[in-house]
Amino acid sequence: MESCPLDIAYGEDVFNEKAMREYLAKDTVETLLHTMNDRAPLDPSIANEVAHALKQWAMQRGATHFTHWFQPLTGTTAEKHDAFFEPVGTAETIARFSGKNLIMGEPDASSFPSGGLRCTFEARGYTAWDVTSPAFVKRHPNGATLCIPTVFCSYTGEVLDKKTPLLRSMQAMDRAVRRLMACFGEPNSHAMITLGAEQEYFLVDKELYLKRPDLMQCGRTLFGAPPARNQQLEDHYFGSIKPRVLTFMEEVEQELWRLGIPAKTRHNEAAPAQFELAPMFEELNLAVDHNMMVMETLRNVADRHGLVCLLHEKPFAGVNGSGKHNNWSVAYNGKNLLDPGKNPQDNAIFLSVLASVIRAIDLHADVLRASTAHFGNDHRLGALEAPPAIISIFLGDELTEVIRRIEQGAAASDDNDKGGKLRVGVDTLPPIPRDTSDRNRTSPFAFTGNKFEFRAPGSSQNCSGVCMALNTIVAESITVLAEEIEQLPKATFHEGLEAILQRVIREHGRVIFNGDGYSAAWVEEAQKRGLPNLRTVPEALAVLLDEKNLDLFSKQGVLHPTEMRSRYDVFFAEYARKVRLEGKVALEMARTILEPAIMKELGALAKMVHHTQAAGIQAGLRTLTAKAETIGTGLDELAMGCTALETALGQDEKAILQAMTSLRNVADKLETMIGDCHWPLPKYRDLLQIH
């Protein structure tokens, strides 16, 4: 074993197994590990001992406070710090942290969105320890805080957070996968869902950022003409990383490693000033928590380097936006079920899981799309740089050929080598390459050799919603398949299995698409195939209320219909608020920053016209007058655009967005005509450069 040459102990700020063994009695460690690894119920009798150990361990790292760390429906993380120390008399303190403090918290939670599940007058919300994600210490310049990952629910037990349904969906997958594995005579074990979340982000210089009220308030630019040089030279992607950025990245990685977050790769992304960080995959619940910490760390460290990290899906129009590729798979008994394997038994399991995924995506593409519904993502999906809003599956040539041969079934010749019928559970699959050569970047949901890569999620989204949806729909499909497979007679098991897979592929193969997802032809083709194309948040969210989907989530034990409805309300309200906020910011900027600048330019031009005329100079007079006319017309258009936006702010979201686009078009055109000395906002050409 070799350690990192830097002076960092990996995971030193996580209460991991090593720390547990150091601070807890052996029996307690075993009990705790049993809950963490085998999902056994928590034994409350160990809570006091664990709390005491956690306190000692955290205080050694400088912690003065503890907090329950949870993920409300805002999509971010929440924390309310409590000091360990309590005064005893007037001159002394005592450090206290009990099992009760560890297990349960009661934040005054009235301001978190609940979608009507909890009225403010009975605003009690509870946080409860999630033993499966280890506690960690967050360090800051003047101290440190012990963070305890928790779930968050209402007094009556309804979920108010993103973690609880994720955990429930993992249970649904576990039930389904166990059942399927039993059909194949596999030993009793449990399913582990894995996630590797590739995080894209932009960096901008903080000084410039502070001069852009749109970036500061909305996380994206509401105005800005594209610079002559953007990403057309394709020289940023994988280019050499500038020293300032590399120094920032190194600090981010070191912080993450200390927290036991396996940051693995870093590179320049396609757009200028865009970058990516990818961790090694981990167990899903942990990977989701870790991604939340990755986002926070990126932001915090950027600030120390005079930079701002933008996690918005589309900070700059006209250049690529940022996504978060969710690499998802499921393992059972330590084996990745989306790895085709080398023998017919493993192949048969792989094909059954694959068929379940195909069925799930075809039947519930709407649910998966809804999970990516996020205002920022509307600017990205379908913008010819990210997958379209149509959910389809890319399988690659080799696997598509395998599927075709199963689908053809008895109609094909029995000659396996010539690409004829493939006998499931008897023949061995041809090797499915894992290389990147045939990667189709235009697909929202791509098979990449041993996992699926869901590329539609937005860069700022909490992965839990997306993975919760994926788990739920796949669990339903695996259960349906398992129910059928259970009925097969032993003697004709493989023939029966083949027939089931054949039917599933025939019924649901329409969702497989290996072509160019960016092309207009695909939009038409997808419509013919009957695949939904839900372009905007309101369209996508609406499907959550369909009876079929309420039923699906309820049957899988993930979200009760009232919980689902409350989520719809929360997400829709968030969307509406964001649109309105952007509209207001755009209006204010146009009126108080852009208009005065344009007036100044017009005034200067008018003065020049006047002076030129007074001096009896003919040369240039026509140009000056024409320019003044153009700018003057632009000013009129801008003023009209503002009035239109003001009116739209009293109407619905669609009207606001339309009015914002019209206003932006006028402003961006003016930006290209006004003298640099008068343009009041940092331009894209500067924002997209890091020196």
Write out the residues near ligand ADP by the rule CB under 6 A: 194-196, 198, 278-281, 327-329, 336, 436, 448, 450-451
Smallest gap from residue 330 Cβ to ligand ADP (A): 8
CB 445 within 8 A of CB 454: yes
Q: Which is nearer to ligand ADP, 198 or 255 (CB)?
A: 198
CA dihedral 39, 40, 45, 47 (to 10 degrees): 0
Smallest gap from residue 296 Cβ to Mg ion (A): 22
Residue type at position 155:
Y
Task: Choose among Mg ion, ligand ADP, none what residue 329 binds, the Cβ cut-off being 5 to 8 Å by kind.
Answer: ligand ADP
Task: Choose among Mg ion, ligand ADP, none what residue 280 binds, the Cβ cut-off being 5 to 8 Å by kind.
Answer: ligand ADP
Question: In Å, what is the CA distance from 167 to each residue of 29, 69, 230, 365?
Answer: 23, 16, 42, 22
Q: What is the CA 621 to chain-centroid distance, rounded? A: 56
Q: Which is nearer to Mg ion, 341 or 457 (CB)?
A: 457
Q: Which is nearer to Mg ion, 115 or 449 (CB)?
A: 449
CB 135 within 8 A of CB 146: yes
Beta strand 274-279 pairing with 335-336: unpaired
Q: Which is nearer to ligand ADP, 114 or 371 (CB)?
A: 371
What is the spatial distance between Cα 133 and Cα 135, in angstroms, rounded to a whole number? 7
Q: Match 């038409």 to its residue by tokens.
A: 524
Q: Which is nearer to ligand ADP, 327 or 462 (CB)?
A: 327
Tokens of 662: 């019209």
Examine residue 163 and tell whether it contacts Mg ion (CB under 5 A).
no
Q: Which residues of 489-506 are buried (b: 16+ CB within 10 A; e: fewer)?
A: eeeebbbbbbbbbbebbe
Task: Choose among ligand ADP, Mg ion, none what residue 88 binds, the Cβ cut-off being 5 to 8 Å by kind.
Answer: none
Q: Which is nearer to ligand ADP, 234 or 414 (CB)?
A: 234
Neighbouring residues of 533: CB distance < 8 A, sequence distance ≥ 6: 388, 389, 390, 523, 526, 527
Smallest gap from residue 543 Cβ to Mg ion (A): 27
Smallest gap from residue 553 Cβ to ligand ADP (A): 23
474: helix, strand or coil: helix
If one counts every other C-beta atom within 10 angstroms of the C-beta of residue 548, the result is 11
Helices (H), 269-374: 284-304, 344-371
Closest residue to ligand ADP, based on beta-carbon distance: 196
Task: Choose among ligand ADP, Mg ion, none what residue 196 binds, the Cβ cut-off being 5 to 8 Å by kind.
Answer: ligand ADP
Q: How many helices (H) and strands (E) does the chain have?
A: 22, 18
Q: Which is nearer to ligand ADP, 194 or 372 (CB)?
A: 194
Q: Which is nearer to ligand ADP, 447 or 571 (CB)?
A: 447
Task: Choose among ligand ADP, Mg ion, none what residue 11 binds, the Cβ cut-off being 5 to 8 Å by kind.
Answer: none
Tokens of 589: 């900027």
Task: Choose among ligand ADP, Mg ion, none what residue 281 binds, the Cβ cut-off being 5 to 8 Å by kind.
Answer: ligand ADP
Closest residue to Mg ion, based on beta-carbon distance: 325
Q: Which is nearer to Mg ion, 43 or 438 (CB)?
A: 438
Smallest gap from residue 198 Cβ to Mg ion (A): 5
Q: Which is nearer to Mg ion, 51 or 263 (CB)?
A: 263
Q: Which is nearer to ligand ADP, 153 or 284 (CB)?
A: 284
> Closest Cα partner for 682 from 246, 270, 216, 202?
216
What is the spatial distance between Cα 21 and Cα 453, in angstroms, rounded to a whole number? 37
Smallest gap from residue 455 Cβ to Mg ion (A): 7
Smallest gap from residue 278 Cβ to ligand ADP (A): 5
Residue type at position 336:
N
If one counts every other C-beta atom within 10 angstroms of the C-beta of residue 521, the result is 10
Question: In Å, what is the CA distance from 586 to each residue of 483, 672, 676?
Answer: 55, 18, 21
Q: Which is nearer to Mg ion, 258 or 325 (CB)?
A: 325
Smallest gap from residue 276 Cβ to ligand ADP (A): 9
Q: What is the CA 667 to chain-centroid distance, rounded? A: 32
Smallest gap from residue 394 Cβ to Mg ion (A): 12
Task: Choose among ligand ADP, Mg ion, none what residue 253 binds, the Cβ cut-off being 5 to 8 Å by kind.
Answer: none
Smallest gap from residue 451 Cβ to ligand ADP (A): 4
* Residues in 280-339 at the binding interface with Mg ion, rule: CB under 5 A: 325
Q: What is the CA 252 to chain-centroid distance, rounded? A: 19
Question: Which runs of E-coded beta strand occur in 30-84?
Answer: 63-70, 78-83
Task: Choose among ligand ADP, Mg ion, none what residue 315 binds, the Cβ cut-off being 5 to 8 Å by kind.
Answer: none
Q: What is the DSSP letter of 339?
A: S
> Closest Cα partner for 321 from 403, 378, 261?
378
Task: Choose among ligand ADP, Mg ion, none what residue 278 binds, the Cβ cut-off being 5 to 8 Å by kind.
Answer: ligand ADP
> Closest Cα partner for 544 from 531, 560, 533?
560
Smallest gap from residue 291 Cβ to ligand ADP (A): 10
Smallest gap from residue 381 Cβ to ligand ADP (A): 19
Contact residues toward Mg ion (CB under 5 A) are 325
